[in-house]
Amino acid sequence: MRIEKEKSLHAYNTFGIDVNAKLFAVFRTVNDLKELLSDETLRHENRLILGGGSNLLFTSDFDGVVLKNEVYGIELLRNDPEHYYVKVGAGENWHQFVLHSIDQGWAGLENLSLIPGCVGASPMQNIGAYGVEIKDRFEQLEAVNINTLEVETFTKDDCEFGYRESIFKQSLKDKYIITSVIFRLFRSPQINTAYGAIEDKLEEMRITEPTIKNVSDAVIAIRSSKLPDPSEIGNSGSFFKNPVVTNEHFESIRAKHPNIVSYPSEPGHTKVAAGWLLDNAGWKGYTEENYGVHKDQALVLVNYGGATGSQIYELSSKIVKSIQDKYGIQLEREVNIF
Ligand code: FAD
Ligand code: NAP
């Protein structure tokens, strides 16, 4: 396998940040990966596993080895009367896999259409959109243990999925490399259009009895109209998570801001739309030189070209402070910072 030195990562992160990796290698099989992990020159380097680079921000050159995951393959393992069990290589593009599953009549991923990135990163933060998270469609995954080089299997319970969370971002951070995921998809569609703007979009499309393809088309249309396309404007999607606060805290904020957008959460708690907090605090469209906050989506920080990761990180810190000062809420970054 080729190990490249001082490799530009500009094309490998959707924020379009121009930094270099000291070392860079691609793996296409689990054996390739094991070989790279046991390589004498790489063993003691810092490591970064890279999928589509759509959920990270580089604040400096990466002083270590970037291992780019290109493990491909989609295989229908088995069916039962209700489900299809599909094993997918971690390097497969997420959206292409969703489209493939729709073509095959494997239902359940349509609400997750047009999310950038690779299948292997999907369990990392339990990707979610429009009321569906991958934990709802997840059977198990395989990951290589970085210390032992053994392939281990993780069930749904093992993964400790939460809201944009999993064990791989917490206690097992940097300890495993996900190489494949098995999804449990439905033979009979369970159409879920209750979330966000899907119903309005289907009505506009004059569809009364939607198929999974119709739902996917609606989600694609909504996302394309609302979100900046990273191939045109650098971004990593929502920069912050939606905060969950106690009901008492929420009521004290609502007394001052009656229009606040919120949703029920776990008992005694309320989920607040972070996008609303930023918008109401005046951040939407905020621009500094060649970076800022997107004009339509306050949750999305953008690089109009040539910004550094540190500039964007500093902007995110200013936003965190302003939201803390205005509402007493500590925002948490969703994007992984390197
Ligand atoms: P990367 O950015 O390459 O990696 C993310 C993190 O996971 C890094 O820490 C990396 O080291 C680690 N990692 C990656 N692959 C592996 C692996 N195989 N094993 C171990 N660690 C690994 N997210 C949502 O949840 N919902 C959305 O609706 C959504 N919409 C988005 C819209 C836009 C326009 C953009 C730019 C992003 C959006 N995201 C969304 C965020 C992002 O697309 C997802 O988090 C996606 O799963 C990241 O995949 P990736 O392959 O690009 O990961
Ligand atoms: P939206 O539909 O305008 O909704 C704004 C926020 O309100 C969302 O964050 C969503 O929370 C929440 N929400 C909306 N309807 C809800 C309901 N019925 N029940 C509970 N919560 C509800 O959001 P949007 O910005 O256009 O995004 C649409 C979907 O795509 C959302 O699910 C969002 O998470 C996802 N998305 C994620 C990213 C990312 O990078 N992570 C980027 C773009 C879009 P949730 O976020 O908890 O769903």
Domains of the chain (ranges; CATH) run 4-69 (3.30.43.10), 74-186 (3.30.465.10), 234-337 (3.90.78.10)
Distance CA 23, CA 16 (A): 19
Helical spans, DSSP H, in the chain: 30-38, 94-104, 156-159, 198-204, 212-226, 247-256, 274-280, 309-327
Total residue count of the chain as it appears in this document: 338
- Which residues face 264 on adjacent strands? 270
pLDDT of residue 158: 98
Atom of ligand 2 nearest to the CA of 222: 26
Ligand nearest to the CA of 239: 2
Name the residue among 98, 100, 127, 128 with its Cα closest to residue 110: 98
Model pTM score: 0.97
**What tens digit of pLDDT does each residue of 72-122 get?**
999 999 999 999 999 999 999 999 999 999 999 999 999 999 999 999 999
Task: Report the DSSP beta bridge partners of residue 5.
Answer: 23
Binding-site residues, ligand 2, Cβ < 6 A: 128-130, 195-197, 226-227, 237-238, 242, 263, 273, 275, 334
pLDDT digits (tens, 9 = 90+) for 306-335: 999 999 999 999 999 999 999 999 999 999
The pLDDT value recorded for residue 196 is 79
- For 132-154, what is the mean pLDDT? 97
Averaged over 227-237, what is the pLDDT?
97
| pLDDT > 90 in the chain, percent | 99
Question: Is residue 110 among the annotated active site residues?
Answer: no
- Judge whether 218 and 198 are in contact, CB under 8 Å: yes
Confirm whether 238 is a catalytic residue.
yes
Please indicate whether residue 120, judged by its CB atom, sits closer than 6 Å to ligand 1.
Answer: yes
Amino acid at 61: D
